[in-house]
Structure 1
Amino acid sequence: MPELPEVEIVRQSLLKNIKGKKINKVLVRNRNLRLKLETAFEKKLKNKFISNIKRFSKYLIIELENKNFCIVHLGMSGTIHIIKNKKDNLPTNTSFYNTPNLPKNHNHVEFFFKDMRLIYNDPRRFGYFQIFNDFNSLKKKFKKFGPEPFNKKFNSKYLINYFKKKEKSIKNFLLDQNFVSGIGNIYASEILYLSKINPSLSAKYLKQDQCKNIVINSRKILQNAIRKGGSTIRDFKNTKGDQGNFQKEFKVYGRDKQNCKRFSCSGTINKITQSNRSTFLCEICQK
């Protein structure tokens, strides 16, 4: 599943390509996504101008000229493809997973602009679209979400107060969108490695300096991932034909049985399972 950095790269691609453009037509081939598309979906978007493309957590937010909002969640396998009318055989994928070009099947929703088309592809159909008629309705959607790692509310004081008497492991907290929004499995492992914290440690045992390190390293890892174009885990290329490069800097994720990359550490990276997800850690650095 795309995490915050990958969705941010998609946002940047969409901002560059469709901001200010008019949606001439919407074609829905399959309404049965994770949330069934409402019957008025096409009507609410047709002939509307796109005023901005924003992001919160792992959600894309398409802001329309009439102050309506359409959010997009890519789910497990959703990708967004841009097909320019006068350019053939170029990578179309604005996203980070699967083929860089438009697949033949599972193209569920299509937006038509004057000089291009935007196509939503999703084999598993875990992604979805939702339309909100005003900002307050959109705000309610995210009411229970925790702050993003870049938000000033995400600080050591917030962590210390949140973790009081909490038995759940710190790794599972980093994946809990009610605690912090946007961090997924890959980056949680990398953040805890950089912070020298065992992913299985109960959050209530974290000390103040450890909480501070989590805040600092969450921002550091995610900012670096965005600069590197996200992480390519499978066959990803963006609309320029470039792969994300952050996977080349993984210190632990996917490195089971390999040597720790930390200077002067003789440890080995181990893979464990937490809540049915793979976690990677150094046997020495993260005791």
Structure 2
Amino acid sequence: MPELPEVEIVRQSLNKKIKQKKVKKVIVRNRNLRFKIPLNFSSYFENKKIIKVERFSKYLILYLSKSIYCLIHLGMSGTIHIIENKMNNIITNTSFYNSPTLPKKHNHVEIIFEKFKVVYNDPRRFGFFQIIKNKKNLKERFNHLGPEPFDLNFDLNYVYNYFKYKNRDIKNLLLDQKFISGVGNIYASEILFKSKIHPYRKVCFLSKEECKKIILNSKKILLKAISKGGSSIRDFKNTSGSKGGFQNEFKVYQQQGMKCKNFRCTDLIKKKISSNRSTFFCESCQK
């Protein structure tokens, strides 16, 4: 599943391409995504401008004219492709997952502009589109989610008090979107390694200094991942022709059996499976 940095790269690609462009037509080929696409879905788009593309957590937000918003969540396997008219599109994918070019199957939604179209592809159909009809409802839509790592509210007071009475592993809690929005399995492992905190430590025993490290390194790791274009787990590129480079910066994720990259540490990176998720860590460096 794409995490915050990868969704941000999709947002940047889309915003650059569709901002201030008018939609000519929308074709829905399959309404049966995670939430069924409404029958009148196309009426919210046709002959309206895309004002801009924003993001919250792992959600893309299309700002349409007349204060209408469309949320897009990519789910497990969703990708967004940009297809130029009358051009040989070598690479169409705006993200770094699945096919770099438009697959022949599972193209569920097409948003058609004058010189190009945007296609949503999703083999597993866990993604969704949702129309939000005003700004108040848009804000309420995210009430169940915690702050992003970049939010000013993600501070020591919030983190320490959230941890104080909880008997949960820190890795597990970093993946809890009610606590912090946008962090997934890749970046949780990297954040904890940089913070020198063992993934199975109980959060109620973390000190204020350790909480500060988690806050700081959450920001650092995600900002670096965005600057590197996200993490290309497979060797694919985005529509600008560049691929994500943060996978070259991994210290622990998918590094099991490799020597720890911390100076003077000779231990090997370990991998453990819990709740169907892989956790990577160095037992010597992370306490």
Q: Is the 8 A contact 1:147 1:180 kept in 2?
A: yes
Corresponding residue of 2:10: 10
Corresponding residue of 2:258: 258
Superposed, 1:112-123 pairs within 5 Å as 112-123=112-123
Please report the TM-score for the alignment, with normalisation by the length of structure 1. 0.98
Looking at structure 1, the residues matched to 270 and 235 of structure 2 have their Cα atoms a distance apart, in angstroms, of 25
Q: Is the 8 A contact 1:100 1:241 kept in 2?
A: no
Looking at structure 2, the residues matched to 240 and 181 of structure 1 have their Cα atoms a distance apart, in angstroms, of 27
Looking at structure 2, the residues matched to 73 and 20 of structure 1 have their Cα atoms a distance apart, in angstroms, of 22
Corresponding residue of 2:270: 270
Q: Is the 8 A contact 1:85 1:115 kept in 2?
A: yes
Q: Is the 8 A contact 2:260 2:267 kept in 1?
A: yes
1:175 equivalenced with 2:178 (yes/no): no
Q: Shift of the alpha carbon at 1:90?
A: 2.1
Q: Is the 8 A contact 2:59 2:71 kept in 1?
A: yes
Corresponding residue of 2:93: 93
Q: Shift of the alpha carbon at 1:39?
A: 1.1
Looking at structure 1, the residues matched to 105 and 165 of structure 2 have their Cα atoms a distance apart, in angstroms, of 49
- Please tell me the residue identity of whatever aligns with 1:57: S
Q: Is the 8 A contact 2:83 2:89 kept in 1?
A: no
Corresponding residue of 2:135: 135
Corresponding residue of 2:248: 248
Superposed, 1:224-235 pairs within 5 Å as 224-235=224-235
Structure 1 runs, 4 residues or longer, greater than 3 Å off: none
- Please tell me the residue identity of whatever aligns with 1:62: L
Looking at structure 2, the residues matched to 181 and 47 of structure 1 have their Cα atoms a distance apart, in angstroms, of 33
Looking at structure 1, the residues matched to 199 and 236 of structure 2 have their Cα atoms a distance apart, in angstroms, of 28
Looking at structure 2, the residues matched to 136 and 60 of structure 1 have their Cα atoms a distance apart, in angstroms, of 17
Looking at structure 2, the residues matched to 276 and 160 of structure 1 have their Cα atoms a distance apart, in angstroms, of 27
Looking at structure 1, the residues matched to 226 and 139 of structure 2 have their Cα atoms a distance apart, in angstroms, of 25
Aligned residues: 287
Corresponding residue of 1:27: 27
Corresponding residue of 1:161: 161
Q: Is the 8 A contact 1:23 1:49 kept in 2?
A: yes
What is the CA deviation profile of residues 56-100 of structure 1, one whole-angstrom value per residue up to 9, with x for unaligned ones? 000000001111000000000000000011421320000120111
Corresponding residue of 2:284: 284
What is the CA deviation profile of residues 15-71 of structure 1, one whole-angstrom value per residue up to 9, with x for unaligned ones? 100000011100000000011101111112111100010000000000011110000
Looking at structure 2, the residues matched to 115 and 254 of structure 1 have their Cα atoms a distance apart, in angstroms, of 41
Looking at structure 2, the residues matched to 161 and 88 of structure 1 have their Cα atoms a distance apart, in angstroms, of 54
- Please tell me the residue identity of whatever aligns with 2:122: D
Gaps of 5+ in 2: none
Corresponding residue of 2:152: 152
Looking at structure 2, the residues matched to 168 and 112 of structure 1 have their Cα atoms a distance apart, in angstroms, of 47
Looking at structure 1, the residues matched to 260 and 20 of structure 2 have their Cα atoms a distance apart, in angstroms, of 48
Q: Is the 8 A contact 1:106 1:123 kept in 2?
A: yes
Q: Shift of the alpha carbon at 1:118?
A: 0.3
Looking at structure 2, the residues matched to 234 and 158 of structure 1 have their Cα atoms a distance apart, in angstroms, of 36
- Please tell me the residue identity of whatever aligns with 2:30: N
Please report the TM-score for the alignment, with normalisation by the length of structure 2. 0.98
Q: Shift of the alpha carbon at 1:164?
A: 1.3
- Please tell me the residue identity of whatever aligns with 1:168: R
- Look up the SS of the partner of 2:196 in the other structure: coil
Q: Identity of aligned pairs, percent? A: 59
Q: Is the 8 A contact 1:99 1:237 kept in 2?
A: no
Q: Is the 8 A contact 2:111 2:119 kept in 1?
A: yes
- Look up the SS of the partner of 1:273 in the other structure: strand
Instruction: Supply the RMSD in Å over aligned alpha carbons.
Output: 0.8
